[in-house]
Amino acid sequence: MRKPFRLMESMRSPDRKAAALAYAEAGHPIIALYGVTDGVCDCGVPACSHPGKHPMTPFFPHGFKDATTDPDKLNRIFDKHPNVNIGLVPTGDVLIVDIDGSKGEASVAALNLPETLSQRTGRGRHCVFTCQGLDAWKAPNLEGVDFRYNGKGYVVVAPSGHICGKRYRWRHGPDLAAKLNLQVFKPRRAVQVDFSMSRKKVGEGGRNTHLASMAGVLRAKGTPENAIAESLAAINQEMCDPPLPQREVDKIAKSVSSYPTPSEKAFGDLAYVKVEEVRWLYRPILPRGVVTVLEGDPGIGKSNFTMALIAALTTGTSVPWSPDVPKGVVVILSAEDDPARVLKPRLIANGADVSKGRIWFAQELFTLDESGLDLLRQKIAEATPALVVIDPLVAYMGAGTDVHKATDMTQFFVGLARIARDSDCAILVVRHLRKSRQGDALMQGHGSVAIIGSVRSALVMARHPQDAEVRALGHSKSNYGPLGPTITFTLTSRSRDGVPVVKWLGIDKNLTSDQLLQAPPNQGPGRPARESEDVRAFLEALLATGARDSRAVRLAADARSFAWITVRRVAKELNVRMVRKGTSSFWSLPSKKGT
């Protein structure tokens, strides 16, 4: 067998010339393709039918047949045309499977292709394999799937640009093309089962268990889902009395087919794992490719912090507490903030770029179960965000998921972590602190301790112990380096409607996350009582000049990070009058006696 395809670090370079030379140096013939600028192919032909994907004929008049590994020729081309895309012609034992969209994924779903080196494309992925016998092999006809091998054709490779605005990108995972037996593409005959010697029927109450057991035996032998489904259909008709509905049988086949077998798929050889440097969105608190948790009491300012973070990220603006100045897209799952009245006004007030395609939000609340995670994964694949915010965590738990149960939380965060790793984005999960305060800051989050064990970085927010108007964000956990210093900021308002704006103050190297959550000497365990006092003073001052619309009250309360439930409770204690006029409710202080 000839030398397999191995992805070198230089091939991941964002510089197209450097990447092209790296491919060529590894022996992979290259052709230059017209690039894409502002959604238009550089070939100059209006309504080009293959934008960013067809050869530059002045240099490659015969297309992929003129592909080269000559560095001098490639240097001349890329020096003159730095925006060109890169086409790679697979040769030798290299097979590249081009899977396009949902139809392509459906076509390969039953093939059980091994995990391998792959790259993201505009609508799907390219999977690279090492195969013997390609010289005499004829590719099958699968909907949504193309095969490139033996010098026949080419594929566009990273870091080329796509017409949709994305870039081709090698996915995090294996750097070596997996070995693949071409027999996997041969049509499989349906499994024939002879039931003539069996007279025993399985009745109600045992049918699902019996079929699942039979499916397990087939799966252990490496049988794909389609063959398992066909076999179960036959077993169901012959041995179940009465037979289960076909949809139930298909559900069993799908469920059992998801089991991690054979063992080669469940285990990997560490020798093939390439050590990677940690990639950061914002050092030292927010790494890419993993999940980070942000914790704090209700109303302390967690959402305001995320708004300021999103504003900096979408505009490429620096923050005083990190050396990194990234710029990227954001996806927000916010269960508590109305997008029109709260989310967008806060983002605009903090200076975020809210133009088309910069910030995506979940329009409906959905649970992050298996289907919900798939939905999130699809959106991340489409938008390629640098940051995903889930606020708050508990709102996205399914009815059957217990936030206090270690097994439930471990499984949930494994799914989130896999999405973060595969997409190389940072996922920031927001959760509240528990009411009882005992122990260090790392253990104060609401829910199972498995949550803090599953994330790679953890942040805790509270009022600064020396100034209640200042918010402090401590770093309580870091798997990728030393803990960062505590970040400080205040909440101000630049407009009459009271929309909160974060004002960075800097860092406090002498304040730790544990110190942030320490109760004053005269206060027992639990959340501090000061917020009620602050809310009382706030309401008395705000309503002193007369009645105010409840919506204005809420916006002003948000600007100070007061929990709305606390505001309403304190308002009742103050006997605040709430008078409805049309669709609005107006709040005012009670009349003083004797007036």
| pLDDT tens digit sequence for 16-66 | 999 999 999 999 999 999 999 888 899 888 888 899 999 998 899 889 999
Which of 261, 276, 291 lies at the terminal end of a domain, its last residue? 276
574: domain CATH number? 1.10.10
Read off the amino acid at residue 312: A
Total domains in the chain come to 4
Better-scored residue on pLDDT, 592 or 450: 450
Which of 144, 167, 185 lies at the terminal end of a domain, its last residue? 185
Question: Helices 370-383 and 406-423, interaxial angle, to 10°?
Answer: 20
Is residue 239 included in any domain, yes or no?
yes
Cα separation, 45 vs 51, in Å, equals 9
Strands 118-120 and 124-130: antiparallel
The residue segments making up the domain with residue 565 are 530-588
Q: How confident is the model over 513-560, as pLDDT tens digits?
A: 888 887 554 454 444 556 677 788 888 888 888 888 888 888 777 656
Q: Are 285 and 366 contained in the same domain? A: yes
Better-scored residue on pLDDT, 580 or 194: 580
Q: Are 390 and 510 contained in the same domain? A: yes
Is residue 67 helix, strand or coil?
coil
By the 8 A CB rule, do 480 and 474 touch? no
Place of tokens 């984005």: 425
Give the DSSP letter string of 188-232.
PPPPP---TT----B-TTTHHHHHHHHHHHHHHTT--HHHHHHHH
Q: Are 469 and 367 contained in the same domain? A: yes
Q: Using 50, 70 and 90 to split pLDDT, how confident is the model at 1?
A: very low
Q: Are 153 and 176 contained in the same domain? A: yes
Is residue 4 included in any domain, yes or no?
no
Give the dihedral of Cα atoms 140, 146, 150, 156; nearest 10 deg: -170
Predicted pLDDT of residue 442: 75
Is residue 155 included in any domain, yes or no?
yes
- Please state, rounded to an integer, the average pLDDT across all residues of the chain: 86
Backbone dihedral angles phi then psi of residue 523, each to the nearest 5 degrees: -120, 135
Q: Using 50, 70 and 90 to split pLDDT, how confident is the model at 131?
A: very high
Q: Are 450 and 492 contained in the same domain? A: yes
Place of tokens 């409770």: 569
- For 65-69, 77-81, 320-324, 564-568, which range has the lowest pLDDT when averaged over its residues? 564-568
Predicted pLDDT of residue 476: 94
Predicted pLDDT of residue 595: 45
Predicted pLDDT of residue 269: 72
Read off the amino acid at residue 572: K
pLDDT (mean) for 388-409:
86
Is residue 49 included in any domain, yes or no?
yes
Supply 361's token pair. Answer: 């939000």
Is residue 3 included in any domain, yes or no?
no
pLDDT (mean) for 300-324:
96
pLDDT (mean) for 133-153:
91
Cα separation, 581 vs 550, in Å, equals 11
Q: How confident is the model over 415-449, as pLDDT tens digits?
A: 999 999 988 999 999 998 876 666 677 788 888 88
**Is the peptide bond between 262 and the residue preceding it cis, with omega within 30 degrees of 0?**
yes
Distances in Å between the Cα of 406 and the Cα atoms of 187, 392, 416, 434 are 43, 18, 15, 16
- Cross-strand partners of 130: 94, 179
Whether 261 has a pLDDT exceeding 60, the answer reads no
Q: Are 166 and 221 contained in the same domain? A: no
Q: How confident is the model over 463-495, as pLDDT tens digits?
A: 998 888 899 999 999 999 999 999 999 998 766
Predicted pLDDT of residue 526: 47
By the 8 A CB rule, do 180 and 114 touch? yes
Which of 457, 490, 516 lies at the terminal end of a domain, its last residue? 516
- For 68-77, 104-113, 323-332, 371-380, which range has the lowest pLDDT when averaged over its residues? 104-113
Read off the amino acid at residue 36: V
Predicted pLDDT of residue 298: 81
Is residue 170 included in any domain, yes or no?
yes
Predicted pLDDT of residue 486: 96
| Kind and range of the H or E run holding 368 | none
Q: Are 472 and 510 contained in the same domain? A: yes
By the 8 A CB rule, do 474 and 305 touch? no
Q: Are 305 and 337 contained in the same domain? A: yes
Is residue 318 included in any domain, yes or no?
yes
Predicted pLDDT of residue 532: 77
Long-range pairs for 581-589 at CB < 8 Å and ≥24 separation? Answer: 584/549, 584/550, 584/551, 585/549, 585/550, 586/547, 586/548, 586/549, 586/550, 587/543, 587/547, 587/548, 587/549, 587/550, 587/553, 588/543, 588/546, 588/547, 588/548, 589/539, 589/540, 589/543, 589/544
Predicted pLDDT of residue 441: 76
Q: Are 418 and 551 contained in the same domain? A: no
Q: How confident is the model over 214-254, as pLDDT tens digits?
A: 888 887 776 777 888 888 998 898 889 899 999 889 889 88
Is residue 522 included in any domain, yes or no?
no
Q: Are 477 and 402 contained in the same domain? A: yes
Whether 99 has a pLDDT exceeding 60, the answer reads yes
Q: Are 458 and 538 contained in the same domain? A: no
pLDDT (mean) for 150-159:
93
Q: Using 50, 70 and 90 to split pLDDT, how confident is the model at 350?
A: very high
Biggest distance spanned by C-alpha atoms of the chain: 102
461: domain CATH number? 3.40.50.300
Whether 260 has a pLDDT exceeding 60, the answer reads no
Burial 164-190 (b: 16+ CB within 10 A, else e): eebbbbbbbebbebbebebeebeeeee
Q: Are 449 and 557 contained in the same domain? A: no
